[in-house]
Structure 1
Amino acid sequence: MINTITFLTQVTVSEQDVVTPFEQNLMVAMVFAIMFGLGAGLTPRDFKLAIKRPWGLVIGWLTQFGIMPLLAFTLIIIFLWQLPMEYAAPVALGALLMGSVPAGTTSNIFTYFSKGNLALSVIMTTNSTLWAILMTPLVLALYGRVLFADNEEFQIPITNIVITLFLLLIPVVGGMLIRRYSANIGAFLELMGGFFGLFFIVFLLVTWVPRNWELLAATPWQTYTVAIGLGLFGIAIAFTIAKLLKLHPMNVRTIALETGIQNGPLALAIVLLTFGGTPNVGLILIVPALYSLFIVLVSTAVTFWFRRANVAEEQKIPNLL
């Protein structure tokens, strides 16, 4: 294990070892396009529906910024803290960030195929994205203070993250304004945002994975457990909570997916824009990158399970959120 950790810390000294300058610029550009499409997907009807039936947003907000950061913290303590600190600390920083970002647009796609409440999914994604400028730095500061209390090298630059989130939220607001004044252009931008979201995953699979295969092969199983478990356990826990609250089955599926499917591209962009050029940023990138890859597989498996639902029978159940 020590030899593996030594190898990893040597080959991931900077982001160029994991992400080339071209890939870094392309990723950031794609994130802006994805965020623009997210905002363009909102209509006045979505906001009216959210105001009339706010409980879905409230529950989603609590699971997004309550469960996911706590889950990331727990997985870090159980798995990563067994590893040498020179490796565990930067990887833990990326894992904590991955658990603290808002939901991603990928959740809307899987909600649709899972026979969920698509309108609720879209407004929940946007709601958590807008709240992220406050809640993401807050939970990072809270859990980061505990995790890195004795490690000054890995103190989280909260101010830099707030600025980065603010910049990345600008296209969301821009997309919302365009949709407000031009529904056709807004719909096109929404479609393009979804396309870039899917292209981002394909991009990682086709270019990033083959080029970093040696790094991925040497990555300890504990890191994979954290990256995969964050999405899998997040979906399972949110599903259980929504089920216990006796929500409509469509909303149970929606809240589960909205909670567990984090915005991987956003997390990667925050790492690149905030920690780019710093030592070990390659290690900080590992969990967000692995999460972005495996969440598609996890969500696909969950979607096949969710699709067993009898929608005709569910239509007889009242009180959709």
Structure 2
Amino acid sequence: MDPSVLGQIDQVRLNFSPRGLMVLNAAIGLMMLGVSLDLKLEDFKRILVAPLAPGIGLAAQFILLPAFTFLLVWILKPLPSMALGMILVASCPGGNLSNIMTYLAKGNCAVSITMTAISTIAAIFMTPLNLSLWGSLNPETAEILQAVSLSPIDVFVTVFVILGIPLILGQVLTRTFPGLADRVRRPFKIFALVFFILIVCAALAANWKYFIAYVGMVMFAVFIHNALALNLGYWSGRVAGLGQADARAVCIEVGIQNSALGLVLVFNFFEGLGGMAIVVAWWGVWHIIAGLATAFIFTRIPLPPGETATDPEACRLS
């Protein structure tokens, strides 16, 4: 592709009407409410009882992955908007599909669910902090942050509304009306996920010519970035002395990012900047493929004696 055409991705703005943006925000809010309905108080307390595996995972999620992403951007030298999209993805918490993928990978679902619970809260602070910090250290991405006058406080407020409020509402509903929460948990999760997928598909359809023109540019970067995240999660766990089941859970949690939150931030603060939007959107597709492939590979490797795969209930699948 002609270099002049490649550079256009830094000027392209993907279309999303104000009403469409409100629907997108509502969709991820519903998704996070579904996640919250799946969490119990014990999931938050577990890190106090068995802190090593979740602690290693959270460090890999919020410290190592953003730092290594910054180095990867320096090595690959993608276009500025693509680079900032990679930094944004690395700044997001784990995705809502990580628990079921941990189960498929025969990992420790208790570790996975605890990381989901804690990372969702931590992201309210860590996502704006990492995006601002690592984005400002790269001169080219720093120009984008300066051009949009990005305020970490504004990002914090948005992330709190999108993640924090649904998390609080879900926990209040679970504790106040446990029977109702049990009945609506599974259908609500399915509805919220399908609703979000429909919204993303509608956005892609409205911007299909841009998506087709530029997605090939980001495939390689996302492939390398996601492989880095999966390996970083797994090997940080193994180096820290975690068992196979725990390391598999950390691997999946770090490799499956909340790209939905990333999309919300791209359209709320960066006006759908082309490289950022397509990197985040393609990550949302690719991490499912890569996560399932990783889980399949793990199923072919028996757990060591003394380690057992968790049952469906441990991952809230039954």
State the TM-score, normalizing by the size of structure 1.
0.84
Q: Deviations over 1:110-152 (max 9, x none)?
A: 1111111222211201201101122122222221221147623
Q: Matched residue pairs, number?
A: 304
Shift of 1:182: 2.5
**Is the Cα–Cα contact under 8 Å of residues 267 and 288 in structure 1 kept in the other structure?**
yes
Aligned with 1:62 (options 59, 80, 103): 59
Give 3-state SS (helix, strand or coil) of 2:242's partner. Answer: coil
Matched, 1:121 2:112: yes
Shift of 1:289: 0.5
| Cα root mean square deviation, aligned | 2.7
Matched, 1:244 2:250: no
Matched, 1:306 2:301: no
User: What are the ranges of 5 or more consecutive residues in structure 1 without an aligned counterpart?
Assistant: 82-87
Match of 2:89 in 1: 98
Change beyond 3 A, Cα 1:71–1:223: farther
Cα distance between partner residues in 2 of 1:119 and 1:244 = 20
Change beyond 3 A, Cα 1:316–1:214: closer
Aligned with 1:233 (options 228, 233, 236): 228
Cα distance between partner residues in 2 of 1:72 and 1:155 = 23
Cα distance between partner residues in 2 of 1:6 and 1:50 = 46
Residues 183-202 of structure 1: pairs in structure 2 closer than 5 A = 183-192=178-187, 194-196=189-191, 198-199=193-194, 202=197
Change beyond 3 A, Cα 1:47–1:126: closer
Shift of 1:248: 1.9
Q: Deviations over 1:172-208 (max 9, x none)?
A: 1111121122223333454245425642675378545
Matched, 1:272 2:267: yes
Residues 1-321 of structure 1: pairs in structure 2 closer than 5 A = 1-5=2-6, 7-9=8-10, 12-13=12-13, 15-16=14-15, 19=16, 23-81=20-78, 88-148=79-139, 151=143, 152-153=146-147, 156-168=150-162, 169-192=164-187, 194-196=189-191, 198-199=193-194, 202-203=197-198, 207-209=202-204, 212-219=207-214, 223-276=218-271, 281-311=273-303, 313-315=305-307
Identical-pair percentage: 26
Letter of the 2:152 counterpart:
I
Change beyond 3 A, Cα 1:160–1:47: closer
**Is the Cα–Cα contact under 8 Å of residues 53 and 237 in structure 2 kept in the other structure?**
no
State the TM-score, normalizing by the size of structure 2.
0.84
User: What are the ranges of 5 or more consecutive residues in structure 2 without an aligned counterpart?
Assistant: 310-318
Shift of 1:271: 1.8
Which of 89-98 and 221-230 deviates more? 221-230
**Is the Cα–Cα contact under 8 Å of residues 37 and 193 in structure 1 kept in the other structure?**
yes
**Is the Cα–Cα contact under 8 Å of residues 227 and 291 in structure 1 kept in the other structure?**
yes
Give 3-state SS (helix, strand or coil) of 1:313's partner. Answer: coil
Cα distance between partner residues in 2 of 1:308 and 1:198 = 29
Cα distance between partner residues in 2 of 1:245 and 1:167 = 35
Cα distance between partner residues in 1 of 2:265 and 2:200 = 20
